Structure 1
Amino acid sequence: MSGHGTPLPMTARKSPPLKGVAEVPGDKSVSHRALILGALAVGETRVTGLLEGEDVLDTAKAMRALGADVARQGPGEWSVHGVGTGGFAEPDNVIDCGNSGTGVRLIMGAMATSPITATFTGDASLRKRPMGRVTDPLALFGAEARGRKGGRLPLTLTGAADPVPVTYEVPVPSAQVKSAVLLAGLNAPGQTVVIEREATRDHTERMLRGFGAELSVEEDGPRRVITLTGQPELVAQTLAVPRDPSSAAFPVCAALIVPGSEVLVPGIGLNATRAGLFTTLLEMGADITFENRREEGGEPVADLRVRHSPLTGVEVPPERAASMIDEFPVLSALAAFAEGPTVMRGVKELRVKESDRIDAMARGLEACGITVEEEEDMLTVHGRGPDGVPGGATVASHLDHRIAMSFLCLGLGAQSPVRVDDASPIATSFPAFEALIGGLGGALSRSNS
């Protein structure tokens, strides 16, 4: 599957029980950061388990364009010879980040305090996404951004020649914004401080410490104050990337949807800032056990054993939203099979993802016979029980990999087939999705008519 070019329609049909082992890819968030910090370190960083989806491969290309030596050694095995903090070179060409909001925003942060200029673009979906939320705080360091109306791509960023440290309170819960500011702070003298009103995924903080940066975190209830001392010499590392909980969400939810299923999903990262979906599923009555708990690459990991379960709708508290922001689309699909309403609050960030995910899920669910209620910051799905989802619709993916995979999972348990107009964006994060679901017994087919 390709995330660019000719659309790839795909259909999911009511499936027999899903059985087997679901080997999901490496964590996308960790993979991006491993390449970027490896490129800013001194020496050779070795990475295993790297996600080789298009989003991460575009970040690898960007690191090469900025002067790092990035090479694939084997499946999931990569080496990065870094240029040191502040060592990025000016790229010869435009940097194309494809579909990846994480990639482009973190790369902008990493180069914003070096005296170079780079122009960034992406696919049609990425060019619609707001970049001002990152370029505004980067301007405080002295960087200058010139883009399309609304701060959208294509955008040219000129890094600060004489960067200054900043103190910045992130206005919305966003790990991308926080991480961009911290990466910019690496090449600024003194201390850069980021204040979060509520915690978001902390992979950047963990990995910065692992590479040798001086970083402290003070917590006061949900509020976090992160202080980074600038201009460290980052030391190359050997990193094992845990498997992606956001990708694991799809076989986990598919197994819960399809009667008789039992699936093992090994090696899943259970960082507390990413595990909100699993907490929610357990509250709904999901039969999930966490086996062989351990630590890999500085992250907590376990094997997930998932069995089909009768589910009950729940209310997801808004303070949990940041820990499962990417999982709300598939939770919405799963909620259609629960008894009663599932209420998701604090989710307005979904409106500025690869698509307006609240609107995309609401319209697709309605087409499949599910009643929904939608507000700016809330989505309610009125579940019809395990045998009550009609399906029978063609839904739009809106160039969004998570929308496409969510409706294909829904189709595995619906009464009538569910067709997604374009499944090609799935390749950006989960290239093996089709083969993995098929290997478990899921009825997926490519359909061009």
Structure 2
Amino acid sequence: MRKLNDFPYSHVLVLGLAKSGTAAAEVLMKDGKKVRINDKKATASDEEVIRLREMGAEIIVGSHPLSVLNDIDIIVKNPGISYENPIVAEAIKKEIPIITEIEIAAQLTDATIIGITGSNGKTTTTTMTAQMLTQSDQPVKIAGNIGIVATEVAQTIDNNENLVLELSSFQLMGIDKFKPRIAVLLNIFEAHLDYHKTLDNYKQAKFNIFKNQTEEDFLVYNANDRSLIDAVENSKAHKVPFSVKERLEDGAWMDETSIYFRDEKIMDRSNIALMGEHNYENILASIAAAKLSGATNHGIQTALSAFTGVKHRLQFVGKHLGRMFYNDSKATNILATQKALSAFEKPVILLAGGLDRGNEFSELIPYLEHVKAMVLFGETAEKLKAVGEHAGVPQIKLTDNVETAVQTAFDFSEEGDTILLSPACASWDQYATFEERGDMFIQAVHTIV
């Protein structure tokens, strides 16, 4: 059993179970820590609750009493729990440290960590980076916000391997000593303000990815994002920019025909399988991170010539009677849907809608020029309808959910059309996750195809 490298706390409150909380609690107990667990939604009869209690955890379920803070040295908080939660707010008043499971994961391993964050493109960039390293015979595992619990992976990864972590702002708010050997900062766009309250709070959470880095580390960042250029100025890490617009002496860049790292040509753009102009930033970021980790040009070429995307991110689902179906359920904000719409020139039927976070969606208007119809659902359906009407979209239909939207979209469609699910919203008004929403879309498409 691996021990935590630097964790001077003896009594830990794990707030919220789910996968990450369960994994963290197990590690802490095996390390000899006294663990108290509090989860409002869990019940005493849950299998995981019974098992963790048998391992020695003190467990309080069904409510969030402030008494769970008694004698606690530190809190390991589920990333989804708000800092306005009464227990969290009280802990802040008492100056009890609050971390997320990602900090525990980093304490378990000396493997090379590549941390990737940004408002959009995290999953694609994480997956591509890992594939470039794999094709270069560099051992690698992926984890984090991509759906794989980092603490579980960190317990088994060898020190000579690379650990590629997709990191959300929720996870990064709860770090203490965590620092990746290579940090990748893709972009910043207004998102998750229901959680962070202000854009500045959101940015500062993202910027935590490089706050503990030293001169021995690397910071890969988007040289075309002004807010990032200003933010990274005070970073101690060796800065490695990427740009789709200009040549860079110490970074990844492109011209009209080719992709480069520093002064070295990596490959022709024509050999890249992934579609969408917006993905070039993700590709450049992945190349920079992979090259810094020892990837070969051949490995990068092999990966990029075969990689067509990840599930729920502009995923090609199928073709039927000349209609192309794409699942972009991971587009949980406006910028992601803008980029998805920019990837297509053919007439598009857009399926969108979901949780209402207060956005008005006017930023979508310039991207709706080639949208021939919108099929809308969820809490934001009426808002998106108003935007579509303002943009002059010929046909707009409100429907119950993603499943009914697919049939409605097909009824509107003609040969040569693209039917695109790109919601511009989180899924939580109707679906537990964006993955569930995307799976429902895929299932509905398969009933037609």
The answer to whether TM tops 0.5 is: no
| More helix as a share of residues | 2
Q: TM-score, normalising length from structure 1? A: 0.27
Per the normalisation by structure 2, the TM-score is: 0.27
More strand by percentage: 1
Based on CA coordinates, which of the two structures has the bigger radius of gyration? 2
